[in-house]
Amino acid sequence: MTSDAPKNPFEALMRQSQDMAESWVKAVNPALANMTPMGFDKAWPTVPAEMLEMFLGKQFNPEGLDAKTRLLLTLMGLTIQGAQAEAQLRLTVRHAIAAGATKQEVAETIAMAALFGGVPAMNKAMDLAKQALDEEKE
C-alpha cells in the first residue's frame, strides 16, 4: 500500500499548514486566493509624509533620525539582504519618496548597499525601485 503522505515530518507539517491556509482563505475571502506577493505592496496605500514623520520620524525622539533617513536605511537593509523582500522593498521606496527622498537618494542608497550585499542584490533592488517609481508615475 502506497501513501501520498510525506516521509519527512517537516514536509508533512508544511503541507498541513498550506492546506489549512487554503481552507481559511476559501472560507474568509476567496479573492485572496489569487493574491500574489507581487501585488502585496499595491494593497498598501502610500502613507502621507506627515504621518510617516509622526510614526517614523522625530515625534518621539526630537533629536533622532527623520522619517526619510529611517526609510533610506530600511531600503539599504532590504537591499543588503539580497532584495528578497520584493514587496517590502517597493513599498519602502514609495514611502521614502513620500517622506521627501529624491530618486537620486534612493539610487545612491541602493548603490551603497552593493558594498555590503553585492552587485546582484543592488541590481535586483534597482529594478524593484524602478518598478515602484514607474508605478507612482501612473
pLDDT in tens, 13-44: 778 877 877 777 677 767 666 666 556 666 66
In this prediction, residue 100 carries a pLDDT of 94
Burial readout 45-77 (b: 16 or more C-beta within 10 A, e: otherwise): eebebeebbeebbeeeeeeeeebbbbbbebbbe
The x, y and z cell numbers of residue 36, run together, are 500574489
- Average confidence (pLDDT) over 115-123: 94
In this prediction, residue 37 carries a pLDDT of 58
Of the pLDDT bands very low, low, confident and very high (cuts 50, 70, 90), residue 3 is low
CA-wise closest residue to 39 among 28, 47, 31, 29: 31
Q: How far apart are CA 50 and CA 107, in angstroms?
A: 23
Topology classification of domain 37-137: AhpD-like (1.20.1290)
Per-domain residue ranges for the chain? Answer: 1-34, 37-137
Of the pLDDT bands very low, low, confident and very high (cuts 50, 70, 90), residue 53 is confident
Asked if 42 contacts 88 with a C-beta cutoff of 8 angstroms, the reply is no
Amino acid letter for position 38: M
